[in-house]
Structure 1
Amino acid sequence: MPPTLSDHIYQFVEKNIDGFHKRRLERLKNLKLNEVLKRKNPYLFKAKNLHVAHDLVKMLLDAFLSSHEETIFGEFMEQLAIFVCNQVYGGRKSSSEGIDLEFEKDGVIYLVSVKSGPNWGNSEQIKKMRLAFQKAIRTLRTNQPNINVRAVNGCCYGKESHEYGDYIKICGQEFWTFISGDERLYLDIIEPLGHRAKERNEDFQKEYARIVNLFTEEFTKDFCRDGYIDWEKLVEFNSGKQQSSKKQQ
């Protein structure tokens, strides 16, 4: 029996998911407490009425790691989407700058900018995507002026679906169906993504516990006084005015 699309997806995930786990572990190992403290809002954590150094450090670390993991896993999901479309419609990484996927279906050439979720960018980033679509379409129509081209912002999760005139936005089930023709695919990819996840997370959890303990010790030394969190010192470290330095002439 020839391999099915699900078989191909299993093989792709098995081959590539380790990259996600290795990158998140590497980021954790190389992380410094000062980097975390400078990138998160100290006022927010004060408003949560935190008093225990360990709790504050853990919450700061979790918030920092969550943002990073969202980014690198989003990149993996974008690669998976391109792979799926290649298997079904011969989709390929577009040669046009800013376009992730290009494929033809039912006489239409689709230019797709693949994003992790629906709330991926601000107005300037969306404008940049639109300009990339316009440039790619002009290039395609240079030698084929009557070619039928559609621009698509496809999101790997979410429920949004909108027509914006110069491009359409589709998310979640609708997106995975669009690039595969399979309405169940958005559910079927869950299982391969979870394959051996517990085993792959063991090293991360060990390192995570070590980092939390080390950061708690360092934080207590630098930002606690008489056993209490010194919020003024913490906020000053995070947001205090930098000392200006004059350059030598």
Structure 2
Amino acid sequence: MKFEIANYIEENIPIFHQRKLESLSKLKLKNILKRKNPYLFKAKNMNTAGELVQNILDAHLSSQEETIFGAFLENVAIHACQLAYGGIKSSAEGIDLEFNHDGNRYIVSIKSGPNWGNSSQIKRMCDNFRKAAIVLRQNKAIRNVVAVNGCCYGRDRAEDKGNYHKICGEAFWTLISGIPTLYTDIIEPIGYLAKERNEKFMEEYAKVTNRFTREFIDEFCFPDGSIDWHKIVQFNSAINITS
């Protein structure tokens, strides 16, 4: 089974890299500027166009990368559970995975790491667990439903959260696959051809950075080259803006 999971990862990791490239190619400087905090960058004393552009671009890409890779890891977890226990991708709202093991029906909401949400988001997850459990218990063959917030990496001090369990890292991968070493086994296939693919990404990243820097200088710098912070703040936050 380890071999099958490794093959799945090597076959599908190119999708992650391709989506990163696609995300990069679709970026527009002004769209990113609209979503970032201009006061923060001024407080960090950024005075060159290149430095500012690289910072806002990196912040944006880091957030997108987490989302794209989180979706990839979720698919790996579902595939591993399918091989081990016949797990399925759930159709219930907010639930990613369902499987039967040791007389329990597990319903799992998969997150990348343990520090993923605020109180409102956790409450919504609990509501989704409750609704899914009500539907499942209508099937008399299902006697015990266990709700799990599964995190692909990290630790949490207390697994039992009352109406659900938070299971992270090694314990999560063991739960869904029955393989105690899976959490370390997957690291090598995830790195399959990573060097070559990241070199391609960095080539495109350099082009985007240069293009954005030129655009930024044209749009948001004075003729002497200094940054027009008032114009940036107005573009980001003014009630009426023409561009």
TM-score (normalizing by structure 2):
0.94
Matched length: 240
| Cα distance change of structure 1 residues 188 and 146 upon mapping to structure 2, 3 Å threshold | closer
Distance (whole Å) between structure 2 residues aligned to residue 63 and residue 132 of structure 1: 31
For each residue in 1:141-163, what CA deviation from the matched residue of structure 2 results, as whole angstroms up to 9, or x when unmatched? 11318701110010111111431
Equivalent residue in structure 2 for 1:172, among 165, 169, 183? 169
Spell out structure 1 runs of 4+ moving beyond 3 A: none
Q: Give 1:74 deviation, angstroms.
A: 0.3
Distance (whole Å) between structure 1 residues aligned to residue 138 and residue 182 of structure 2: 36
| Cα distance change of structure 1 residues 237 and 84 upon mapping to structure 2, 3 Å threshold | same
For each residue in 1:92-137, what CA deviation from the matched residue of structure 2 results, as whole angstroms up to 9, or x when unmatched? 1123222111111111111111111112222222222212211111
Q: Which residue of 2 aligns with 1:83?
A: 79
Distance (whole Å) between structure 2 residues aligned to residue 184 and residue 172 of structure 1: 11
CA contact (8 A) 2:98 2:106 kept: yes
CA contact (8 A) 2:5 2:80 kept: yes
Identity within the alignment, %: 58
RMSD, matched Cα:
1.6
Q: Which residue of 2 aligns with 1:230?
A: 228
Q: Which residue of 1 aligns with 2:109?
A: 113
CA contact (8 A) 2:104 2:142 kept: no
| Cα distance change of structure 1 residues 106 and 137 upon mapping to structure 2, 3 Å threshold | same
Q: Give 1:243 deviation, angstroms.
A: 5.8
Unaligned runs of 5+ in 1: 245-249
1:72 maps to 2:68: yes
Q: Which residue of 2 aligns with 1:201?
A: 198
Distance (whole Å) between structure 1 residues aligned to residue 167 and residue 190 of structure 2: 22
CA contact (8 A) 2:107 2:147 kept: yes
Equivalent residue in structure 2 for 1:94, among 90, 114, 118? 90
1:28 maps to 2:24: yes
State the one-letter code of the partner of 1:106: D
Distance (whole Å) between structure 1 residues aligned to residue 181 and residue 13 of structure 2: 21
CA contact (8 A) 2:136 2:142 kept: no
State the one-letter code of the partner of 1:168: H
SS at match of 2:46: coil
Q: Which residue of 1 aligns with 2:214?
A: 217
| Cα distance change of structure 1 residues 145 and 83 upon mapping to structure 2, 3 Å threshold | closer
1:48 maps to 2:44: yes
State the one-letter code of the partner of 1:78: E
Q: Which residue of 2 aligns with 1:183?
A: 180
Equivalent residue in structure 2 for 1:129, among 125, 128, 140? 125
Q: Give 1:210 deviation, angstroms.
A: 0.6
For each residue in 1:58-103, what CA deviation from the matched residue of structure 2 results, as whole angstroms up to 9, or x when unmatched? 1110100100010011000011111111111111112322211111
Distance (whole Å) between structure 2 residues aligned to residue 40 and residue 95 of structure 1: 35
TM-score (normalizing by structure 1):
0.91
Q: Which residue of 2 aligns with 1:247?
A: none
1:232-247 equivalence runs, <5 A: 232-242=230-240
Distance (whole Å) between structure 2 residues aligned to residue 83 and residue 110 of structure 1: 15
Unaligned runs of 5+ in 2: none
